[in-house]
Amino acid sequence: MGIFDPMTVQPLAAMTWEEARDAAGPRSVAILPVGAVEAHGPHLPLDTDVIIAEAMARAGAARLAARGIVATVLPPITYTAAGFAEGFAGTVSLRPETVAATLLDIADSLVRHGFAVLAIANAHLDPANLASLDTAVRRVRNGLGLRVAFPNLATRPWALRLGDEFRSGACHAGRFETSIVLAERPELVRAVMASLPGNPESLSRAIRDGKQTFEEAGGPRAYFGYPAEATAEEGRATVETLGGILDEAVEAELQ
């Protein structure tokens, strides 16, 4: 007997090709986590955004599956445009056009295999990455005819649901992201977290002012916000909120 159950959350990479064929259909959703490999302070791993994106994807897929929608979680995009963190060791940044082309090619495959909706669970808010995703989403919708759910967390109404620190813009490797990593992968959070002073500098304001790096924005150690205040409990609650956001965005496309 096979392990495939269309009413549960399915990771595409663990399926056989026949199971992937059976997962596609008129109410099927392929969820693509998008993260980055970039500096996240002295206390979080370089793949923090990947961890958050995958948590969002799983939480959203679970909600969809509970409503009878076949949800398949794709392997994540782990490299993307990350220019703000390029000055810090370990950061890997792609050209924006590479990111857009990658997403377009993924979507083309999903269309050919019969998936109805592409949902993007993006946790990397670098403006170059967001612009690349926006470009790709337009091309997918106009050129391939695939429905795309892309709740941009940096915009209304989604940002308003993610806490005071997030709304302030001082949220890179701060309380918001650190809490999620504490909930998902606590062994990866370094003990220095507890002694880090808060950094109230707003990245969103810095971006509006034309700043282009974490250093220019006032983050010499590649973090913004209040990581010492992070808790796993808050992280678990935030993941549920992210899952709800993804679920709502998908439902809007299905309707």
pTM equals 0.95
DSSP letter assigned to residue 61? H
Task: Please indicate, yes or no, if residue 111 is contained in any of the structural domains.
Answer: yes
Task: Please indicate, yes or no, if residue 97 is contained in any of the structural domains.
Answer: yes
CATH classification at residue 28: 3.40.50.10310
Task: Please indicate, yes or no, if residue 140 is contained in any of the structural domains.
Answer: yes
Q: What is the largest CA-CA distance in the chain?
A: 59
pLDDT of residue 49: 98
pLDDT of residue 5: 56
Give me the number of domains the chain comprises.
1
Range of the domain at 44: 10-254
The H helix count followed by the E strand count for the chain is: 9, 5
CB 75 within 8 A of CB 30: no
Task: Please indicate, yes or no, if residue 4 is contained in any of the structural domains.
Answer: no
CB 100 within 8 A of CB 136: yes
CA–CA separation, 22 and 253 (whole Å) = 21
Task: Please indicate, yes or no, if residue 1 is contained in any of the structural domains.
Answer: no
pLDDT lower than 70: segments of the chain? 1-8
Task: Please indicate, yes or no, if residue 5 is contained in any of the structural domains.
Answer: no
Residue 233 burial (CB count, 10 A): 11
What amino acid is encoded at 28 in this protein? S
Match 């056009």 to its residue by tokens.
97
